[in-house]
Amino acid sequence: MNSLDATEHYETSANDPAPSLLTVVIDTNPHAWTLLEDSLPLSKAIANILVFINAHLACNYANEVAVVASHSQKATWLYPCEQHPGSKSSTDQDGDVAMNGPDHSPAQVNKYRPFRIVEEQVTRNLRHLMESTAASDIQATTSTMMAGALTLALSHINRRTIAWAEAHGADTAAGATATGVAPSGSRSAAENGNEGLQSRILIVSVSSSTDSAHQYIPIMNGIFACQRLHIPIDVCKLSGDAVFLQQASDATRGIYMSLTEPRGLLQYLMMAFLPDQRSRRHMVLPTRVDVDFRAACFCHRRVVDVGFVCSICLSIFCEPPANGDCLTCGTHLEMGDYGAKPAVVARKKKKKKARPNGASGTATPMSTPTPGP
């Protein structure tokens, strides 16, 4: 049959480059998107992101994609996910294949099937997420669940990496860390001939980091996990400040771009964020020098420039804790009188050298004896 249908063309060869898994985290904070309604509506942004996802899938037939929504009250999957309850049947009443969509609209039967599946699931689940968001949920908070979205992305990457390694007979441990960025002083998995699934995360953010200061600890834990697994975090910032996301991109060797003109979202996505780790080795990537390394305190969740650090657990506080007890580990810390006069270090007094004749310091002249005749 190979001479007739060329089945070997569709078989995966051991020498083929490993596919790339792109996980897109979309910040769907209603407060932030309302401020961008004039320059970039959410519907237009989703359309641009879908074109970018289609370009990623077109680069390699084995490439994979996942989409996570970071909403105001929860983080949820947009793709892949289970079939929506309202679209169970794909046939007509007479049993033939349905040529219309679930809402009786003409289905895009001529579109490439992976493109159509991603587009239908993302738009349907996003519409369901917006319709299920109550007014009380929007009024309760102005932040977004970025920590939960990072956790979902890491879980999916870990699951797909293990599944790909088992299916292709690769080492699971090597496949989990073979993402194209090797630690300093060691050879990459690609050089060793054992390259695993290429995984990366792209965050399209519109919220301010100061609103997500209460998620500082879980966000940093997710950043450290990506750093350990060599998973780059790319950040496309449309509005607001991004203290923690700058640190995420810098720690994981990702790309950070803050768009001055959100209308050009598709151009930035295609030119800066489309290349995977394998292609980035041969490219000059945009880098950011002025990274904001501020942290959030553990007591009031404020982003601080200068704070107090526990010498035991390294917890950060914006002001001295009550009674000098660390709020995290409970260690009693010796606290000085901060807020008063600054501490003065007493200078050591120099010891005076002893004079030969008393304290006056004046030497007594000595008479020289005159030699006799």
User: pTM above 0.85?
Assistant: no
Distance CA 234, CA 258 (A): 11
Q: What is the pLDDT of residue 330?
A: 79
Q: What is the pLDDT of residue 98?
A: 52
Answer whether residue 96 is part of any domain.
no
70 with 209, same domain: the answer is yes
Q: What domain range is 311 assigned to?
A: 294-337
Structure tokens, 271? 């030119």
Distance CA 219, CA 256 (A): 17
Answer whether residue 229 is part of any domain.
yes
Answer whether residue 184 is part of any domain.
no
205 with 143, same domain: the answer is yes
Answer whether residue 99 is part of any domain.
no
Distance CA 145, CA 129 (A): 14
Domain count, the chain: 2
Distance CA 319, CA 316 (A): 9
Contact 204, 236 (CB under 8 A): yes
29 with 115, same domain: the answer is yes
- Rounded (5°) CA angle 31-204-109: 105
Contact 129, 70 (CB under 8 A): no
33 with 162, same domain: the answer is yes
Sign of CA dihedral 66, 267, 220, 140: negative
Answer whether residue 128 is part of any domain.
yes
Residue 292 CA to its chain's centroid (Å): 14
Q: What is the pLDDT of residue 42?
A: 94
Contact 306, 293 (CB under 8 A): no
Q: What is the pLDDT of residues 247-302, one digit of tens each?
A: 899 999 999 998 888 888 999 999 999 999 988 989 888 876 677 777 778 787 77
Helices 146-167/216-229 angle, 10° precision: 20
Q: What is the pLDDT of residues 211-237, one digit of tens each?
A: 667 788 888 899 999 999 999 999 999
Residues of the chain with pLDDT under 50: 1, 85-86, 88-97, 104, 174-193, 339-345, 359
161 with 305, same domain: the answer is no
45 with 162, same domain: the answer is yes
Distance CA 19, CA 196 (A): 8
Distance CA 198, CA 16 (A): 13
Answer whether residue 227 is part of any domain.
yes
201 with 331, same domain: the answer is no
Structure tokens, 100? 């219309």
207 with 304, same domain: the answer is no
151 with 35, same domain: the answer is yes
Answer whether residue 140 is part of any domain.
yes
244 with 138, same domain: the answer is yes
203 with 322, same domain: the answer is no
Q: What is the pLDDT of residue 181?
A: 42
